[in-house]
């Protein structure tokens, strides 16, 4: 009995010590510097035993969503380096992680792009398809008359990236094909790319992708310094236009 009591006296404190260790506040990220990925940079990390988890960038603080202890923060890329402060709090304990999002090359001055785009739409009889001439920092959504949504990342009046999502079913119709081809041609030309080359490469790439259903992306298309990256999803594809 004395031996049993001795063992318990040794094991119980160790047990609670282990519990304390498992529930310790912790915060970590996979890198200290992150590069652009499409319109954003994705900061990944882990956090445990926190009561509040936030991140702050450009003076704005937002909550961090966590799934199974892991998190992914999407920060719109800018023409300037950005410091992102991630903070985990549990009562009087605090853990902080500071990471950098690397700057990227803008596609074009946003005001110049918007003015050129609006003029093009007016000249083609699409007066209801106009971009705002002044845009706040962030990613905005431009919904066209045909229902297509284009996403524009504008930072410091610089157009950093353009993206869209297009369903495969729309490409099966002549109207859908025409709408997408026209939009891609216009945006490509306004950004200084060779629209004809981009369309030709896109048609070739997607045709090859149809033959290989396991592919999730196709080779990047490049024209005059502009990058066209396409990710394939189950019901459609995502197109990202950047210069980085």
Which residues of the chain does CATH 2.60.40.10 include? 26-101
Q: Of the ranges 14-18, 196-200, 204-208, which one carries the lowest mean pLDDT score?
A: 14-18
pLDDT at 41: 98
CA dist 76 and 18 (Å) reads 40
Residue 172 has pLDDT above 90, yes or no: no
pLDDT digits (tens, 9 = 90+) for 133-158: 999 999 999 999 888 999 999 999 99
With 0-12 / 13-18 / 19 or more C-beta atoms within 10 angstroms meaning exposed / middle / buried, residue 26 is middle
Give the confidence band of 13 by pLDDT, cuts at 50, 70, 90: low
- Kindly report the average pLDDT of the chain as a whole number: 89
Where residue 194 falls among pLDDT bands split at 50, 70, 90? very high
Q: What are phi and psi of 7, to 5 degrees?
A: -65, -45
CATH topology of domain 26-101: Immunoglobulin-like (2.60.40)
Angle of helix 110-123 relative to helix 174-190, nearest 10 degrees, comes to 140
Considering only CA atoms, which of 43, 45, 48 is closest in space to residue 26? 48
- As given in the structure block, the two tokens for residue 99 are 């990471």
Is the confidence at residue 43, as pLDDT, over 60? yes
């Amino acid at each position: 009995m004395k031996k049993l009591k001795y063992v318990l006296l040794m094991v119980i404190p160790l047990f609670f010590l282990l519990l304390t260790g498992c529930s310790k506040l912790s915060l970590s990220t996979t890198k200290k510097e992150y590069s652009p990925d499409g319109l954003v940079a994705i900061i990944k990390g882990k956090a445990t035993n926190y009561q509040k988890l936030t991140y702050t960038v450009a003076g704005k603080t937002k909550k961090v969503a966590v799934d199974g202890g892991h998190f992914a923060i999407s920060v719109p890329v800018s023409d300037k380096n950005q410091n992102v402060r991630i903070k985990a709090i549990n009562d009087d304990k605090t853990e902080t992680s500071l990471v950098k999002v690397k700057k990227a090359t803008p596609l074009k001055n946003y005001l110049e792009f918007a003015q050129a785009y609006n003029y093009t739409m007016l000249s083609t009889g699409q007066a209801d398809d106009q971009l705002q001439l002044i845009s706040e920092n962030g990613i905005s959504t431009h919904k066209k008359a045909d229902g297509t949504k284009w996403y524009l990342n504008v930072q410091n009046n610089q157009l950093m990236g353009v993206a869209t999502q297009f369903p495969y079913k729309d490409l099966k119709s002549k109207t859908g094909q025409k709408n997408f081809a026209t939009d891609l041609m216009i945006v490509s030309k306004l950004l200084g790319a060779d629209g004809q080359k981009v369309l030709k490469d896109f048609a070739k790439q997607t045709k090859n992708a149809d033959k290989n259903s396991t592919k999730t992306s196709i080779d990047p298309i490049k024209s005059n310094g502009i990058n066209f990256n396409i990710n394939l999803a189950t019901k459609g594809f995502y197109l990202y236009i950047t210069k980085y």
